[in-house]
Amino acid sequence: MAIVKDEFKESPSQTAGPYVHIGCAPNFTGIKKIYSSDLGSAMKTGPVKGEQITIEGTIFDGTGAPLKDAMLEIWQADSDGLYNSPQETRGICDPNFTGWGRCAVNLNTGLFRFNTVKPGQTPAPNGTLQAPHISVWIVARGINVGLQTRAYFSDEKEHNSSDPILNQIGDSKRIKTLLAIRQKKGVYSFNIHLQGHNETVFFDI
């Protein structure tokens, strides 16, 4: 008679480790000729609608040092507030815009950069409009579970003031950690702090 073991437990969580780059961004790591480009490296596949923008920044650890082995993914609506998703029923997303991007930070400086479009407003589950924003997911060695946050825009004060998520935060100092700061036309800076005085607001999703 077979003996059924019921004492097996869930394996402990592991950090992303160095192999996440090999699997997700092989060209970035120097592994060529498998894919013509890394998945998510280009969000625009042709002429796009709306304002084309660049978002760039650095992820800092609790000591203030740049994280140089992190990888980010972003997900957003197009300039009309429509998602590139089969679940999008309000209209058709810009066919030349993927809505999703992936970027490994620069191994020397820790800088990340996304070339995308400024998103439009999107409805919250209760139907109220959210301010234009980009969802950001972060993974790196030392992070057991990917961190989820958002990037709002510093030049969208009117929409930000009525955003249902930002209004739940309340503390204006904490809200500032979610703002991509306009540096010049079409360029925004968005730095992420994992710990410390300026710790970015992260979401439990």
Q: What is the pLDDT of residue 10?
A: 64
Tell me what the mean pLDDT of segment 15-43 comes to.
83
Query: ∠51-151-181 over CA atoms, to 5°?
Result: 70
Question: Whole-number mean pLDDT of the chain?
Answer: 91
Question: How does DSSP classify residue 158?
Answer: H
The CATH class given to the 37-193 domain equals mainly beta
* Residue 165: pLDDT band with limits 50, 70, 90: very high
pLDDT at 151 over 60: yes
Read off the pLDDT of residues 97-121 as tens digits, 9 standing for 90 and up.
Answer: 999 999 999 999 999 999 999 999 9
Can you say whether residue 185 is alpha, beta or left, with left for phi > 0 and alpha for psi between -120 and 50 degrees? beta
Read off the pLDDT of residues 35-89 as tens digits, 9 standing for 90 and up.
Answer: 889 899 999 999 999 999 999 999 999 999 999 999 999 999 999 999 999 999 9
Q: What is the pLDDT of residue 28?
A: 85
Can you say whether residue 183 is alpha, beta or left, with left for phi > 0 and alpha for psi between -120 and 50 degrees? alpha
